[in-house]
Amino acid sequence: MKIDLNGNTKLSFFKDLYDDARANSDVLYEKLKQHLEQYKGSPKIDGSEVDASQVRNVTYELVESQVTSYLPNPSVSPKMWSEQNERNAKSVETLLRNKRNELPFEKLNDMDERFNPIYGGSVWLIEWDNSITTHNTVGDVRISCLSPQRFTGQPSIYDIKDMEYCFIQFETTKEEIVRKYGVTFDVADEAENDDNADDKTATLYICYYKNDQDKVCQYIWSGDTELSDIEDYFARKRYICTKCGKRKELCTCEKPDYELQDEDYEEIVRDIQRSDGTIIPAECEVIKDGQVVMETVKQQAVDETGQPIFDDSSGMLMPLLVDVQVPKMQPTKLPFYTPNILPIVIRKNTSEEDSLLGQSDCEFIRPQQQAINKIESRINEKLLGAGVYPIAPENAPIEYDNSIFKKVFRANQSNFKLFGKLDLQVDISRDIAQAERLYDQAKRILGITDSFQGQYDSSAQSGKAKQIQVQQAAGRLDSKRQMKNAAYAEIDQIIFQYYLAYADEPRPATYKDAQGRMQNRLFNRYDFIERDEAGEWYYNDEYLFSADASIDVDKQRELLWEENRKNFQQGAYGNPQLPQTLLIFWQNMEQAHYPWAHENVERIRDEIARQQELLLAQQQAEAAQQDLDKEKQNRTAYEAYLMSQINNGGQANGGQQ
């Protein structure tokens, strides 16, 4: 994106750009506002100034029916297989699985599950925050799930990857502005605040855009105050003193003047050991045109046996030096990895042509919701206006203001009896039938059945039939899950790129092995560094990201338990009588979150360990008994041998006599 100021300030340029982009999407944001009001049960009737007196919020009911706590499991595989690439893919996958538990994904998912059917999509912002520190690490990923009303994209561009710029709007405190952007309190007080907020909060506008070099940049402002302007947002930054040229940490100037500069590479001062035991050396060979550059150096001459050769031609015994061709060495310079994508992922509800967001469920069932509101209002009016009312003569002194009768009909004697009653009850059965018919239409539009909602369904006569009905309903909604999986895969890819770029320290992650034991694994960004034939060091980021869409654990957990039992009973894990088979069964049940499965796994492990100890003791006892028996046999044989020798000796002596 080219920034053409035309004599204006950069702040005014971005404010005008934001206003134009927002104005081009006025229709979209009006729809988003309308969808949210519908979800919250707005009584407004389209095309009428009179609101509904009664609202049956079927939109809320159907949206909430689709909410699930299911989080897609990350899956990472290398584009080109090798043992190293496969090992790196597993470390990335383990790291991402840990992030599912470490980050507040449950809270983010809860918002995301409602944003999508309401608005047709949700906006995820993925950032690297250096302020997140531990005892051993600096920086980590920060993720936010935002309403589409807070996102403004480039007009007429419907894929975030194709956009030259986009905007994020959110609320923050003025103290956070001072702390995060390093401005004074006077500057923070000038920041814009929302009309509904107090004077301690401010509205921030963040623009992510690509410059002429296709580098992602960031510009932040609030009101008429510029807060941050970062060129090449993802590049490594360091402060350099313009007086001495040294880094901020090494500068000794009395009045330093620091300038923020990009760092392109790091020059390592010692060998770096990677996870597989290989080394990135502090010095590497110089390669030019694909060939190692050689140089001549003097080295000690040695003979065939490796003994050094000395020269005594000068009358003194001196080492003999000879010219040897060796590779020319240079300090190893590793480039910093730089992401080149906008840090935003948009999850769509279901795809829609020429639309940044997906299709909103609220939009498709709005006619049914409006009609139901009208009918329910009519039912309400009928019921409130209907009843059995008394009839009294015109001049009868009846006080009814404090009675249950709010209306009394007056009549003369010629038309009615002096006293009586008038039945004005109405029939609302047809209204109720029509309201239920519209409700069924809304459910069918979204593919939601009674079984899917957990309600009574007389068409399912068995547990298996009900499972099939739930699965069929889930199949109608499978497109939404696929879009969710795709969005999570994009989020995982951005997280991976952030760790390649900024995680200087190895990051620990834990996983369970095939035996159910907890194991440790390290993510080390140096494991992904390789050197090509031209001698250039680079990061191998050629990995495929996807989400495990095979099961929806929250919807089919009981089905998993049942299938696991069948596999166990049919011997798929081995002989069901063996404790090792029981251990496999309960480990699988633990993975499927069966209650008390972990306790059963521990008990069976203890039993297996006890049996192994008994078996070992028995084997040792049998071996000791075998040694005793063998020793006894040897002793018996030796005694027999001695007796035979004695007997033979006696017979020989007797013969000589």
The stretch 355-362 carries a mean pLDDT of 93
In whole angstroms, give the CA distance from residue 586 to residue 603.
10
Position 32 scores a pLDDT of 95
Q: Does the structure show a pLDDT above 70 at 656? A: no
Place of tokens 């809320």: 60
The answer to whether the beta carbons of residues 543 and 89 sit under 8 Å apart is: yes
Residue 44's identity, in one-letter code, is K
Q: Does the structure show a pLDDT above 80 at 497? A: yes
Percent of the chain with pLDDT over 90: 42
| pLDDT tens digit sequence for 524-548 | 999 999 999 888 999 999 999 998 7
The stretch 623-637 carries a mean pLDDT of 87
In whole angstroms, give the CA distance from residue 202 to residue 187.
12
Position 198 scores a pLDDT of 65
The DSSP 8-state label assigned to residue 150 in this structure reads: G
The stretch 85-94 carries a mean pLDDT of 94
Per-residue pLDDT band for 657 (boundaries 50, 70, 90) equals: very low
Position 85 scores a pLDDT of 93
Chain-centroid distance, C-alpha 153: 23
The answer to whether the beta carbons of residues 74 and 488 sit under 8 Å apart is: yes
Place of tokens 């390592």: 268
Q: Could you tell me which of 205, 260, 211, 259 has the C-alpha nearest to residue 232?
A: 211
Position 182 scores a pLDDT of 73
User: What is residue 230's three-state secondary structure?
Assistant: strand
Q: Could you tell me which of 122, 566, 193, 528 has the C-alpha nearest to residue 344?
A: 122
The answer to whether the beta carbons of residues 284 and 317 sit under 8 Å apart is: no
Which carries the bigger pLDDT value, residue 407 or residue 293? 293
Helix (H) or strand (E) holding 500: helix 478-502
Place of tokens 């995982």: 492
Count Cβ atoms within 10 A of the Cβ of residue 134 and give its class: 0-12 exposed, 13-18 middle, 19 or more buried.
Answer: exposed
Position 305 scores a pLDDT of 84
| pLDDT tens digit sequence for 23-59 | 999 999 999 999 999 999 999 999 888 999 999 999 9
Position 549 scores a pLDDT of 56
| pLDDT tens digit sequence for 91-129 | 999 999 999 888 889 999 999 999 999 999 999 999 999
Q: Does the structure show a pLDDT above 80 at 424? A: no
Which carries the bigger pLDDT value, residue 472 or residue 349? 349
User: What is residue 207's three-state secondary structure?
Assistant: strand
Q: Does the structure show a pLDDT above 50 at 507? A: yes
Place of tokens 């092995």: 513
In whole angstroms, give the CA distance from residue 330 to residue 294.
12
Per-residue pLDDT band for 653 (boundaries 50, 70, 90) equals: low
Position 367 scores a pLDDT of 95
CA distances 28 to 23, 124, 149, 155, Å, are 10, 19, 9, 11
The answer to whether the beta carbons of residues 259 and 247 sit under 8 Å apart is: no
* Strand ranges (E), 73-210: 73-78, 121-133, 138-146, 151-153, 165-173, 201-210
End-to-end, the C-alpha distance of the chain in Å comes to 129
Q: Does the structure show a pLDDT above 50 at 554? A: no
Which carries the bigger pLDDT value, residue 1 or residue 557? 1
Count Cβ atoms within 10 A of the Cβ of residue 301 and give its class: 0-12 exposed, 13-18 middle, 19 or more buried.
Answer: middle
Residue 315, sorted as left (phi over 0), alpha (psi -120 to 50) or beta, turns out to be: left
The stretch 285-297 carries a mean pLDDT of 87
Give the least confident one: 15-29, 242-256, 446-460, 531-545. 446-460
Position 36 scores a pLDDT of 96
Q: What is the DSSP string of 361-400?
A: HHHHTHHHHHHHHHHHHHHHHHHHH-SEEEEEETT-----
The stretch 646-657 carries a mean pLDDT of 60
Q: Does the structure show a pLDDT above 90 at 21? A: yes
Give the least confident one: 147-156, 241-250, 469-478, 643-652. 469-478
Averaged pLDDT score across all residues of the chain: 85
Position 306 scores a pLDDT of 80
The stretch 610-618 carries a mean pLDDT of 90
Position 116 scores a pLDDT of 95
Single pTM value for the model: 0.80
Position 176 scores a pLDDT of 84
